[in-house]
Amino acid sequence: MFLRFLRLFAVVLATLSYAAIADADPCSDSGLRYCEVLKPYVSSPWQPTVELLPGDNVTLRCDCEQHLGLNAAGAIWMGWFKDNATASVRLGRFTYSEKNADNFSISYALSNVQKHDSGSYVCQAKSTGNLLRGNATGVNIMVAEPQLETPNITSDTPTPGSIDLGANVTLWCETQAYPHPLFNWTKDGKAIPTNHSTATDHMTIRRFSQSDEGLYACVAWNVLGEKHSQQLQLTAKPPDGGLPMLIIIAIVSGVTVFVIVVFITITVFVYRRRRHWKHCRLESDSDVEGDSSESVDYISKEYDFSVLCCKDDRSWAETNIVNKLEETKQKGYFHYRDDVGGDSVFQFLNSIEKSRHIIVVYSPAATSDEWFQKGYQTAVAEKLDGNLLGRVVPVLRGGFERRNLPLALKDRLPLEVEEPRFFERLQRSLSKDSDYESAGPSEASSEESVLDRISVI
């Protein structure tokens, strides 16, 4: 009797163990091998590493595509793991798609993150008709307290005080900071022009000349503010003798005069030729072709508009600009909604790169938001050159005055929220082909019609 009881107990235990294994691995109950392995990929966030501060929120989403075989009959199974796709630690519940689904996605939200949430988050996918796992993919999450130490400036040349004329010199700005800092560069206490200054930790001076001599320094900044490095003196190596320098000066002067003469000659020739042929059909065709290439670049943008604003204006901008414009079938990009990981100047650059028009909301709150000001200034220096400034649409609210706009936008006509026809003008400013942009001043019959026809695009 006791032996029968032991045998019955062994059978029950084996049955329960098989059920537990089948539940843990949905692929173990099928011997079918005619499905291709799933290929999951993490589609959000875009960057491989996300830097967060304690208390931030982030949502990870994993999309998966299934390439079915001839007789496939499987469903997509997906799950998130932390630090190791084969470990027992998993996040949330595993999710199943409908049978024979071509694609599927799963999201995992991290709220009020802390340091212990740092690590590698891996998305794993399988097919119930395939015993093989899909390629795991994931994203690294880093959570730490903000930090910013005084930067140190160095040079790749061993003798900064004696640099050969014509050599390339690279300066480096090193600091310990979190989140990852951005950098500005100065020479003799003044900001370096846009063609030299970037938001990276290094700067290269090509073909060093005597005009490049001076005291250089770097500025590192993040959410904690900014810190300046000590100054580094760069000096050109003196010439070996007086005669070679005189020869160099004479050659440079002669070449300069020659270039000026050639430039003036070509300019006069082109000017006369254009006057002579300005009514020819050939010039008309070339003008049309130029406009066509510009239109192709304009149309190739992924979004019709993007909206930049400070945190205090986020709710207003999303309700009164983003949502309303999207109701008119326009595709918008709003970094607070479409990005994860908190504010970042790279989100400003990303929105400018992908959008036909950039709507910038200015308010009293924006002037006191240091992160918004720094991010926008870097975006202007990096992307908004003379050709792209025409795509910016300034929007003023809360009593913000036009005279307080950044210097780069002084010649732009802003839209004031308090105007009765604010949203109508905003719509027309985003319409490239409307008469709002192309009509001339002579066609306006009143002050109101003149304002309506001024191009802000």
Per-residue pLDDT at 23 = 39
pTM: 0.36
User: Do 216 and 231 contact (CB within 8 A), yes or no?
Assistant: yes
Per-residue pLDDT at 348 = 66
In whole numbers, what is the pLDDT of the chain averaged over residues? 71
Q: What 3-state class would DSSP assign to 228?
A: strand
CB atoms within 10 A of CB 291: 10
- The model's pLDDT over 152-203, given as tens digits with 9 standing for 90+, comes to 988 888 888 888 888 999 999 998 888 888 888 899 988 886 554 456 788 8
Per-residue pLDDT at 263 = 92
* Domains 26-143 and 302-453 are alike in CATH topology: no
From first CA to last CA, the distance across the chain in angstroms is 92
Structure tokens at 411: 């010649």
Task: Tell me the angle at which helices 370-382 and 345-354 cross, rounded to the nearest 10 degrees.
Answer: 50
**CA–CA separation, 264 and 349 (whole Å):** 39
**pLDDT at residue 457 is higher than 50:** no
Residue spans of the domains in the chain: they are: 26-143, 147-234, 242-296, 302-453
**pLDDT at residue 259 is higher than 90:** yes
Please give the residue that has the higher pLDDT: either 97 or 363: 363
Per-residue pLDDT at 368 = 83
* Main-chain phi, psi angles of 99, to 5 degrees: -65, 135
Per-residue pLDDT at 168 = 92
Averaged pLDDT, 94-106? 62
**pLDDT at residue 211 is higher than 60:** yes
Per-residue pLDDT at 214 = 92
Whole-number percent of the chain with pLDDT over 90 = 11
CATH superfamily of the 302-453 domain: Toll/interleukin-1 receptor homology (TIR) domain (3.40.50.10140)
Structure tokens at 125: 């996918």
Per-residue pLDDT at 199 = 65
**Under 8 Å CB-to-CB from 176, ≥6 apart: which residues?**
147, 149
- The model's pLDDT over 125-154, given as tens digits with 9 standing for 90+, comes to 776 655 445 555 677 788 888 888 889 988
**Under 8 Å CB-to-CB from 11, ≥6 apart: which residues?**
none
- The model's pLDDT over 16-67, given as tens digits with 9 standing for 90+, comes to 333 333 333 333 333 333 334 455 555 444 556 788 888 888 888 777 766 5
Q: What 3-state class would DSSP assign to 373?
A: helix
**CA–CA separation, 12 and 259 (whole Å):** 96
Per-residue pLDDT at 125 = 73
Per-residue pLDDT at 148 = 84
Please give the residue that has the higher pLDDT: either 368 or 435: 368
Please state which of the ranges 239-243, 334-338, 390-394, 419-423 shows the lowest mean pLDDT.
239-243
Averaged pLDDT, 238-249? 65
Please give the residue that has the higher pLDDT: either 385 or 203: 203
Quickly state the pLDDT bin for 435 (edges 50, 70, 90). very low
Averaged pLDDT, 85-109? 59
Q: Which fold has domain 26-143?
A: Immunoglobulin-like (2.60.40)
Residue 372 exposure: Cα atoms within 13 Å on the Cβ side: 21
CATH superfamily of the 147-234 domain: Immunoglobulins (2.60.40.10)
Averaged pLDDT, 354-359? 85
Please give the residue that has the higher pLDDT: either 52 or 383: 52
Quickly state the pLDDT bin for 74 (edges 50, 70, 90). low
**pLDDT at residue 207 is higher than 60:** yes
**Under 8 Å CB-to-CB from 167, ≥6 apart: which residues?**
157, 207, 208
Report in angstroms the alpha-carbon separations of 271 from 264, 275, 315. 10, 6, 54
